[in-house]
Chains A and B, each alone.
Chain A
Amino acid sequence: MIRFPLTAAEAKGEGELRAGGTDLQDLRHRGIRSGPITDLRDVQGLDAITDDLRIGSLVKIADLGRDLRLPPLIRKAANGLATPQIRAVATLGGNLLQRTRCWYFRSREFDCFKKGGTSCPAREGIANRHALFDRGPCISVHASTLGLAFLAYDAVAHFEGGPDRSIAEVYGDGSDPTRDHAVQAGEVLVGVSIRDAIPGEKGGYLRAIARAEAEWPIVEAGVRLWFEGERIAGARVVAGAVAGVPLRLPAVEQRLLGELANEATFARAAAVSIEGANPVPDSAFKVDFLPAVILSALERAMEA
């Protein structure tokens, strides 16, 4: 079954939502997802960005990357993910609500919590692309780059016919191994609003990868900084590919507040990012990467 509702209201209910389809179709072709589809193709009005930074859920990632009204972290994160041909198809909503790239999850040869199973095969197997913060029982990491960028804004997600939720609420704490987010089936994300962008704020995004381009990150991080005079008046630091949800790192932010933006400050702050890390053994090397990536993202923010 496939249906093409004309409004978001009609889209609610039965069928798995399909926006760009770059994630859903991959899972369907692999035989991991099946069942009816509710395709958002004909839904009008969800593909705009307004001047007060409400972004429709069907806005393409490529468009996020080019819109100069958006704060730097959002643009940099959008331009830094996937490939041009994916960014031209994939949407904001689909990116935020995509499923994990864990190789056990994406193979139909394995059962796992996220596919109705009762265990996490990565725990017994090879888990070198997995959690630095193991919140169990599933040790996959969240895939969304935009998720971490919007988390840095405490952005507000709007749902058709339902109350708004913060991005943090959209993801939950990652403790439910069966899910990648807390949005229920049948709910339609219509947009995301950025409310606390600070004029003149700086933003930096970076991922550690082996190749030059187009690779899923070992660790990725985004930062926002704003200033009073020379001193850091506010900071948001978020990390991806380290836990089952995008993570905000308040301890790092704390270390930045009131400081001068220099290497020593950045290094001290980045160092505390791994407080509380309890990696699965195969991914223990990520403790070397998280501080390094945050440090680099902070430097990037200052370059811009």
Chain B
Amino acid sequence: MWSPTRRGFLGGLVGGAAAGIASGEPLALAGEAAAAEPKTPLKCTVNGALRETEVGADSSALDFVRRTCGLKGAKLGCGHGVCGACTIQVNGTPMVSCLLPAAHLHGAEVTTVEHFDPLHPIQKAFLAEDALQCGYCTPGFVVEAIAFHDAWRRDHGTSTPPRSAVDAALAGHVCRCGAYASIIAAVTAACEGKFDAGDFTMPRADGLEKVTGKAEYTVDVQLEGQLEGRILRSPHGAARVLELDLEAARAIDGVFAVVRLIIPAGTVRYAGQAIAAVAAKDRSVADLAMAAISVKYEVFKPVIGIAAARADGARPVYERKREKKQAPPAGEGPMLPTHWKGNERGPASSHILAKPHAADRAVKRAETEGWLADRVFKTQCQVHTPLEPRACVASWRDGRLEVRVSTQAVADMAVDICEHWELSRDQVTVLAPYVGGAFGSKVGLDMETRAAIELTRACGLPVRVVVDRHEELMIGGHRPAQELEMQVVISAERELDGIVSIARSDSGVSVGASTGFNVRLVYKGKERRLEDTDCITNGPPAKPFRGPGGPPAMFALEGCMDDLAVRMGEDSIQAHLRWDQHVVRRKMYAVLAEVPWWKDRPKEPGTGRYRRGVGLAIAAWPYFLSPGTHVRVDAGLDGITASAAIQDLGTGSRSVIANAVADVLGVPPEKIKVRVGDSRDAHGPMSAGSRTTASVYPAARRAAAELVKELVESAEGLGLVGVVRAPGGIKHRDGFMSWEDLAKLAPTTVIKRRPRDPGGYFLPLAVGGIAVGKNLAGAVTAMEVEVDTRLGQVRATRAWLGIGSGKLAAPALARSQAEGGVLQGVSYALYEERFLDPGTGRLLTHDLEHYRIAGIGDCPEIEVHFDTSGFTEANGGPVGLAELCTVGVAGAVGNAVFRATGWRPQELPIRPERVLAGVRA
């Protein structure tokens, strides 16, 4: 049976990371709060069927449809009325069901996404336009858009709704993946009647499940006997747990397990750090148990922010050397070695193949000749906050552990779990069929998973732990805040002479944030001084976030480049062509130069109230892949199924596999069933570092090719004569036989490893299962903004993204991904910012009202230009683009604001108050 871990529960000192809020008392979770005692009768119809039941005073309409009716399409996103994931129709009107009391449904007709069968034109349009990625927000959008569509058609026929009408109707919805551009296209086309009848395409392999609400995410899992788990978190940013008494909580009726999570020493380094966890029969009992846990803290003043970390006499966040070593990593790459001084770790330098002293000399030379840009930039802390929060359902039964978890690494997670609890591989299964977004935050074995496993281990029943939005925003992961001193030197000959980048990051208790790495990836020349210092604070740990380090680095560097181009009187494309040798980007500049709104861009800052400007920034990202990736294809009575232990976060890996196999077999992709999100399948990579597509696509093609070979041989073995391969099957003397029919007669299974890139890799060996391709992937981003100089609002009106993608494994999905990256970049540049209370370290932006994410009205028109060449050595295959598409956006927005107003933003987000202060100065 289960052997309790001898290594103790926590791997790292802060438990490798995650953990959130709450005083000795629990934080309640909106929407799915358990029914409180007093019940009131409720009679209503749900999707046409009469329902009679009793509901609690505080239970929400969402709780009723999800738990009482078992309709899991409507989702809990925020719980406070902002995100719209919970939208249902009540008497035909869309409403937020998380705040609507269930009792108010009395006598009403309730309609949820499950009602729409056959598909509504809006759902078809969402499928055809690929107006979704992870799909977690999709049911809410669909239910709202259907109401809008039906009203529009009634009043306006098939005329085209203006963008403003669509935006206004969908203003109460948030899509963290940033699918707005396609959502607008889908709603518009459906209103025009384009999906009333007839065929439509479905580029996304799991789109149908997502638009109908059938996709089962971790938060939707309901196992027999499942308990509700909750994590008690420290309300103090810096403290020591002196006493922790779990007995009173254990004694409560309906409580099945209470476990300690904090390390024996009891050190608390950030508000939200996990202290203990409970599992109870339902949410309200779990909350009671949380309240019954008594914790005595010795509380210290926390170190919050870069300045506090560097202040004389600042309390050290880590005291002992051993503790420092176990500080969790903020990034995903290997950590550069360096030293600690107080709360500062560093500087670490990215000087491999660089000449820092030459850069210093260049700066010195610039005193007398050439040009120097010398500016300090500040960027904020951005949280990932995927719409599906961290969630895990763990179940320990008959010596086997089954872990359903919202993760971007099913295979690695299984390995980590085995190691951590000393289990064998065949004892552990990790499942993640649908993941509601991640963006880098869900790569590790984090606290919700640890807690769920510890709890199920303690009581033998399945335990679900789902964090609420407050916890997610607190401990879910973030991009570190940074201060960047950037110097760029251009010689008298107008050549790039040197770059100095001195960065300080606030990544909370985590270490290893890097900007220098990103600066190293662009422009010719080795004259670089690239230094990164972590300022350790009592904030929650950072996690890798889409292009870690990239957006701040490019905001600063490209801000300087733009500054130089302006001062030198050079056109920005000309200037970039002069300094940038990247083959693909050089082609992109030529394409961009012909884009009409680039050509017509204003050449001087405006003077009126509204000022338009267009800015440019570049991006680079390594081409990563996992050489050990395998794909399996089973062909038999059930048709053709391809599988790998990877996951689809909305990134489209299901479609990538389906398309690869279908292409080789010469059949339509719908013919290929794909299974992902199961750790038992053939080994696949985690979805991080943009490597899933580049790893899986070639492996899937190779497996498919092998299948073809074996099926052809089988055909011959079956006595067919004159067998030759043909699209979709084989030809033989007496006719044609499809692969499927052939497989029924001769079931075949193949597993193939990803072929090696013919040109080899940058480093001869894969490090940590990752190989680095020889080419760097590149992108060019141009943004158009409109600045309202009276009210300070910056609107991103247009975006152009030229991106070197290699072959497109799933073109429609690649476009969605790229558009989402642009949108997230805009959101980062203009709106998002996390705040911690300086006195306590507690989170202030604890909901999606205070933590602001771009909505549909903020989405620019986005054009994506894919350059499919340039990666011949990548097996002619695709390279990842998830990070590349977002890295340059903030830089381009900043430069566009400068071009519009003559004021250069050096601080993100570019909020209205900063704009007014800047423009008026």
State which of A67-75, A106-114, A162-170 sits at the interface with chain B: A106-114
Q: What is the size category of the interface that chain A forms with chain B? A: 35 or more
Q: How far is the CA of A292 from the CA of B609 in the complex (A)?
A: 11
Answer whether residue B28 sits at the interface, using C-beta atoms and an 8 A cutoff.
yes
CB pair B852 A210 closer than 8 Å: yes
| Closest Cβ neighbor of B79 among chain A residues | A29
CB pair A210 B855 closer than 8 Å: no
- Say whether, besides A2-B40, A4-B40, A289-B792, A103 and B844 are in contact (CB < 8 Å): yes
CB pair B845 A86 closer than 8 Å: no
- Say whether, besides A89-B99, A296-B790, A285 and B104 are in contact (CB < 8 Å): no
Answer whether residue A254 sits at the interface, using C-beta atoms and an 8 A cutoff.
no
- Say whether, besides A1-B38, A295-B790, A26 and B167 are in contact (CB < 8 Å): no
Q: How far is the CA of A285 from the CA of B920 in the complex (A)?
A: 12
CB pair A26 B103 closer than 8 Å: no
| Closest Cβ neighbor of A32 among chain B residues | B28
Q: How far is the CA of A208 from the CA of B144 in the complex (A)?
A: 26
Answer whether residue B134 sits at the interface, using C-beta atoms and an 8 A cutoff.
no
- Say whether, besides A2-B40, A85-B144, A124-B839, A212 and B857 are in contact (CB < 8 Å): yes
Contact of A89 among B96, B168, B271, B830 (CB under 8 A): B96
CB pair A31 B30 closer than 8 Å: no
- Chain A nearest CB: distance from B514 CB in Å? 28
Q: Please report which residues of chain A, range 55-90, place their CB below 8 angstroms from some CB of chain B when the two chains form the complex.
A: 62, 82-86, 88-89
State which of B87-95, B491-499, B744-752, B879-887 sits at the interface with chain A: B87-95
- Chain A nearest CB: distance from B481 CB in Å? 14
State which of B430-438, B531-539, B911-919 sits at the interface with chain A: B911-919
CB pair B844 A104 closer than 8 Å: yes
The secondary-structure label for the interface of chain B is: loop
Query: Binary interface profile of B, 834-861, with partner A (CB < 8 Å = 1, else 0)?
Result: 0101111011111101101011111000
Q: Which residues of A contact B38 (CB under 8 A)?
A: 1-2
Q: Please report which residues of chain A, range 113-138, place their CB below 8 angstroms from some CB of chain B when the two chains form the complex.
A: 121, 124-126, 128-129
| Closest Cβ neighbor of B33 among chain A residues | A29
Q: Which residues of B contact A101 (CB under 8 A)?
A: 849
Q: How far is the CA of A173 from the CA of B327 in the complex (A)?
A: 51
Highest count of chain A CB atoms <10 Å: which of B21, B27, B842, B844 = B844
Contact of B94 among A2, A84, A121, A129 (CB under 8 A): A84
Query: Binary interface profile of B, 13-27, with partner A (CB < 8 Å = 1, else 0)?
Result: 000000001110111
Answer whether residue A30 sits at the interface, using C-beta atoms and an 8 A cutoff.
yes
- Chain A nearest CB: distance from B837 CB in Å? 5
Answer whether residue A22 sits at the interface, using C-beta atoms and an 8 A cutoff.
yes
Answer whether residue B326 sits at the interface, using C-beta atoms and an 8 A cutoff.
no
Q: How far is the CA of A292 from the CA of B94 in the complex (A)?
A: 35
| Closest Cβ neighbor of A218 among chain B residues | B912
Q: How far is the CA of A259 from the CA of B260 in the complex (A)?
A: 71
- Chain B nearest CB: distance from A298 CB in Å? 12
Q: How far is the CA of A285 from the CA of B918 in the complex (A)?
A: 12
CB pair A210 B912 closer than 8 Å: yes
Answer whether residue A215 sits at the interface, using C-beta atoms and an 8 A cutoff.
yes
Q: Which residues of B contact A124 (CB under 8 A)?
A: 839
Contact of A84 among B28, B79, B169, B845 (CB under 8 A): B169
Q: Which residues of A contact B795 (CB under 8 A)?
A: 212
Contact of A26 among B25, B81, B794 (CB under 8 A): B81
Q: Which residues of A contact B470 (CB under 8 A)?
A: 107
CB pair B791 A289 closer than 8 Å: yes
Q: How far is the CA of A216 from the CA of B845 in the complex (A)?
A: 13
- Chain B nearest CB: distance from A284 CB in Å? 9
Answer whether residue A48 sits at the interface, using C-beta atoms and an 8 A cutoff.
no
Answer whether residue A21 sits at the interface, using C-beta atoms and an 8 A cutoff.
yes
Q: How far is the CA of A1 from the CA of B794 in the complex (A)?
A: 48
CB pair B58 A41 closer than 8 Å: no
Q: What is the size category of the interface that chain B forms with chain A? A: 35 or more
Q: How far is the CA of A46 from the CA of B451 in the complex (A)?
A: 49
Contact of B101 among A39, A110, A210 (CB under 8 A): A39
Q: Please report which residues of chain B, range 27-68, place their CB below 8 angstroms from some CB of chain A when the two chains form the complex.
A: 27-31, 33, 38, 40, 57-58, 60
Answer whether residue B244 sits at the interface, using C-beta atoms and an 8 A cutoff.
no
Q: Please report which residues of chain A, range 239-296, place their CB below 8 angstroms from some CB of chain B when the two chains form the complex.
A: 285, 288-289, 292-293, 295-296
With contacts defined as CB atoms under 8 Å apart, how many contacts are there between chain A and chain B in the complex?
A: 193
| Closest Cβ neighbor of B287 among chain A residues | A31
Q: How far is the CA of A293 from the CA of B82 in the complex (A)?
A: 24
CB pair B852 A211 closer than 8 Å: yes
Answer whether residue A7 sits at the interface, using C-beta atoms and an 8 A cutoff.
no
- Chain A nearest CB: distance from B399 CB in Å? 39
CB pair A25 B104 closer than 8 Å: no
CB pair A85 B23 closer than 8 Å: no
CB pair A21 B101 closer than 8 Å: yes
Q: How far is the CA of A95 from the CA of B38 in the complex (A)?
A: 26
Q: How far is the CA of A292 from the CA of B915 in the complex (A)?
A: 13
Query: Binary interface profile of B, 814-842, with partner A (CB < 8 Å = 1, else 0)?
Result: 00000000000000001100010111101
Query: Binary interface profile of B, 248-260, with partner A (CB < 8 Å = 1, else 0)?
Result: 0000000000000
CB pair B100 A21 closer than 8 Å: yes
Q: Which residues of A contact B103 (CB under 8 A)?
A: 2, 4, 39, 41
Answer whether residue B793 sits at the interface, using C-beta atoms and an 8 A cutoff.
yes
Contact of A208 among B87, B791, B917, B920 (CB under 8 A): B791
- Chain A nearest CB: distance from B231 CB in Å? 15
Contact of A296 among B90, B791, B838 (CB under 8 A): B791
CB pair A108 B25 closer than 8 Å: yes
Q: Which residues of A contact B25 (CB under 8 A)?
A: 31, 108
Contact of B913 among A106, A108, A288 (CB under 8 A): A288
Q: How far is the CA of A98 from the CA of B527 in the complex (A)?
A: 59
Q: How far is the CA of A210 from the CA of B840 in the complex (A)?
A: 28
Answer whether residue B685 sits at the interface, using C-beta atoms and an 8 A cutoff.
no
- Say whether, besides A29-B79, A84-B94, A211 and B839 are in contact (CB < 8 Å): no
Contact of B104 among A21, A110, A210 (CB under 8 A): A21
Q: How far is the CA of A4 from the CA of B103 in the complex (A)?
A: 10
Highest count of chain A CB atoms <10 Å: which of B103, B795, B911, B920 = B103
Q: Which residues of B contact A108 (CB under 8 A)?
A: 23, 25, 27
Q: Which residues of A contact B831 (CB under 8 A)?
A: 210-211
CB pair B28 A25 closer than 8 Å: no
Answer whether residue A195 sits at the interface, using C-beta atoms and an 8 A cutoff.
no
Q: How far is the CA of A22 from the CA of B171 in the complex (A)?
A: 17
Q: How far is the CA of A249 from the CA of B82 in the complex (A)?
A: 31
CB pair A103 B850 closer than 8 Å: yes
Q: How far is the CA of A20 from the CA of B103 in the complex (A)?
A: 11
CB pair A85 B96 closer than 8 Å: yes
- Chain B nearest CB: distance from A286 CB in Å? 8
Q: How far is the CA of A39 from the CA of B25 in the complex (A)?
A: 27
Query: Binary interface profile of A, 1-34, with partner B (CB < 8 Å = 1, else 0)?
Result: 1101000000000000010111001101111000
CB pair A210 B844 closer than 8 Å: no
- Say whether, besides A85-B96, A214-B171, A288 and B911 are in contact (CB < 8 Å): no
Answer whether residue A37 sits at the interface, using C-beta atoms and an 8 A cutoff.
yes
Answer whether residue A52 sits at the interface, using C-beta atoms and an 8 A cutoff.
no
| Closest Cβ neighbor of B101 among chain A residues | A21
CB pair B791 A215 closer than 8 Å: no
CB pair A21 B99 closer than 8 Å: yes
Q: Which residues of B contact A303 (CB under 8 A)?
A: none
Answer whether residue B153 sits at the interface, using C-beta atoms and an 8 A cutoff.
no
- Chain A nearest CB: distance from B141 CB in Å? 12
Sample 14 A-B pairs with CB under 8 A, ordered by A number.
A1-B38, A4-B40, A22-B99, A84-B172, A86-B99, A88-B90, A89-B96, A121-B839, A124-B839, A128-B913, A208-B793, A208-B912, A211-B855, A214-B855
Give 14 A-B pairs besides A25-B101, A26-B30 with Cβ atoms closer than 8 angstroms. A1-B38, A2-B40, A21-B104, A29-B30, A88-B90, A88-B94, A107-B843, A109-B21, A121-B837, A124-B839, A126-B837, A208-B912, A285-B913, A296-B791
